[in-house]
């Protein structure tokens, strides 16, 4: 078992992907390559294209997958379509998204993702990216901060925490995770369950904003669905209610024929369903897995299948 990241619901992911020899698959979120390795062990005859925006993940996976011949791509999965086109891939037989951050990213203090490890505020998945949490916390207006905490953290003390940040940085820049934690605690107190939840929500909201995670997900899901060959499957594991809502809504939209408003009697949208939804409700990890891997507790796994007779993207 790798200490980099323990893959969540690996068997269910494999069952759902229905790998076949010679098929072309994508791991959109390679991380420590736990799922990718499980895919190769289940079906060594696959062709795998794997993405991660984090150079450390690509380096780890290069070692772990040394016995196989994956194409590892350091890129945002938002650019899935163009990156695959660059590799002359026109259609895929399955794709896996295991969203969020890896244990390695959270546990590595210097990445600045975690409120219980003191470090410079950072939170960039791709460390070549310019925008970091340091900039967001010190340079965003109070209104912008309130919006980030409310929108991405669903935090009810968003306004008070944004104002506390504004007051604190008027005298001294907020440099570290500990600085930010102290400001949050000055608003919601120390030691209670609610204070802990607020810290989780504020740090998560900043991470989602810094990495523009929700927009990337929407773009990539739509492109992935278009790229799927008939019968190909898309498997998405999310750990945050906003992500799961995006997955659910995009699957629902792409599994629907007409999407005209109810007042329109004769369809004018010409929308045709491309997907069959395989999981009416999200699948969750079992109690045994949750007790051995706490990160699996919030996982929600949704699966859909490209309808037969649907083509993937035509190259222009
Ligand atoms: C939960 S981990 C994946 C763990 C992996 N399934 C395993 O078994 O080791 C999520 C990974 O996705 C990457 N990631 C998140 N959003 C991304 C994006 N938009 N584009 C590319 N990689 C992304 C993160 O850097 C992280 O390494």
Residues 64 and 181 in one domain: no
- The answer on 281 and 197 residing in a single domain is no
Neighbour-count burial for 245-267, b at 16+ CB within 10 Å, e otherwise: ebbbebbeebbeeeeeeeeeeee
1 located within any domain:
no
Identify the residues whose C-beta falls under 6 Å from ligand 1.
5, 7, 29, 31-35, 51-54, 57, 76-78, 98, 100-102, 125, 216
Measured distance CA(241)–CA(255) in Å, rounded? 21
Pocket test for ligand 1, best of 125, 204, 299 (most atoms within 8 A of CB): 125
Kindly tell me if the per-residue pLDDT of 309 is higher than 80.
Answer: no
Give the residue carrying structure tokens 């500990």. 178
Give the tens place of pLDDT for each residue, 217-263.
Answer: 999 999 999 999 999 999 999 999 999 999 999 999 999 998 999 88
Centre of ligand 1 from the C-alpha of residue 54, in Å: 8
42 CB burial (10 A radius; 0-12, 13-18, 19+): middle
Domain co-membership, 90 together with 223: yes
Q: Which residue, of 210, 242, 271, is where some domain finishes?
A: 210
At 315 the pLDDT is 43
- Does residue 20 surpass a pLDDT of 70? yes
Domain that holds residue 197: 130-210
pLDDT in tens, 74-133: 999 999 999 999 999 999 999 999 999 999 999 888 898 989 889 999 999 999 999 999
Domain count, the chain: 2
Are residues 229 and 195 part of one domain? no
Which residue's alpha carbon is at the smallest distance from atom 20 of ligand 1?
A: 76
Q: Are residues 292 and 150 both part of a single domain?
A: no
Last residue in a domain, options 156, 187, 210: 210
- pLDDT at residue 173 is higher than 60: yes
* Residue of 30, 78, 210 to mutate, ligand 1, most atoms within 8 A of C-beta: 30
Binning pLDDT at 50, 70 and 90, where does residue 312 land?
Answer: low
Q: Give the pLDDT confidence of 135-150 residue by residue, as tens digits.
A: 999 999 999 999 999 9
What's the whole-model pTM score? Answer: 0.94
Q: Is residue 164 part of a domain?
A: yes
Distance CA 273, CA 251 (A): 10
pLDDT of residue 1: 63
CATH number at residue 76: 3.40.50.150
198 domain residue, yes or no: yes
What is the whole-number distance in angstroms between the Cα of residue 309 and the centre of ligand 1? 31
Q: Dig out the tokens for 139 from the structure.
A: 């340079």
Task: Name the 3-class secondary structure at 231.
Answer: strand
pLDDT bin (cut points 50, 70, 90) of residue 310 is low
Q: Domain boundary residue among 181, 210, 239?
A: 210
- Given a contact cutoff of 8 angstroms between Cβ atoms, the answer to whether 83 and 51 are in contact is yes
The Cα 61–Cα 314 span in angstroms is: 31
């Amino acid at each position: 078992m790798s200490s980099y990241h323990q893959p969540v619901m690996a068997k269910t992911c494999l069952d759902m992907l229905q790998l076949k020899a010679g098929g072309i698959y994508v791991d959109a979120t390679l991380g420590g390559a736990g799922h990718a390795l499980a895919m190769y062990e289940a079906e060594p005859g696959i062709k795998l294209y794997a993405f991660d925006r984090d150079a450390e993940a690509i380096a780890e996976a290069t070692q772990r997958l040394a016995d196989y011949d994956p194409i590892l791509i350091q890129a945002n999965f938002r650019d899935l379509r163009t990156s695959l086109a660059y590799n002359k891939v026109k259609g895929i037989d399955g794709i896996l998204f295991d969203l969020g951050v890896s244990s390695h990213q959270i546990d590595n203090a210097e990445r600045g993702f975690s409120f219980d490890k003191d470090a410079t505020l950072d939170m960039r998945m791709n460390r070549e990216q310019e925008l970091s949490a340091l900039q967001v916390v010190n340079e965003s207006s109070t209104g912008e901060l309130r919006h980030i905490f409310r929108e991405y953290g669903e935090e009810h003390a968003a306004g008070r925490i944004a104002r506390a940040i504004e007051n604190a940085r008027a005298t001294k820049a907020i440099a570290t995770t500990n600085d930010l934690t102290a400001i949050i605690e000055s608003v919601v107190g120390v030691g209670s369950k609610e204070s802990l939840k607020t810290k989780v929500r504020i740090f998560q909201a900043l991470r989602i904003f810094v990495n523009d995670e929700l927009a990337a997900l929407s773009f990539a899901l739509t492109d992935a669905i278009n790229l799927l060959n008939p019968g190909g499957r898309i498997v998405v594991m999310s750990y945050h209610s906003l992500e799961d809502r995006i997955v659910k809504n995009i699957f629902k939209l792409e599994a629907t024929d007409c999407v005209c408003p109810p007042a329109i009697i004769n369809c004018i949208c010409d929308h045709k369903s491309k997907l069959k939804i395989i999981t009416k409700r999200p699948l969750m990890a079992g109690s045994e897995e949750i007790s051995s891997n706490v990160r699996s507790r919030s996982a929600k796994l949704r699966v859909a299948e490209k309808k037969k007779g649907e083509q993937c993207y035509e190259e222009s």
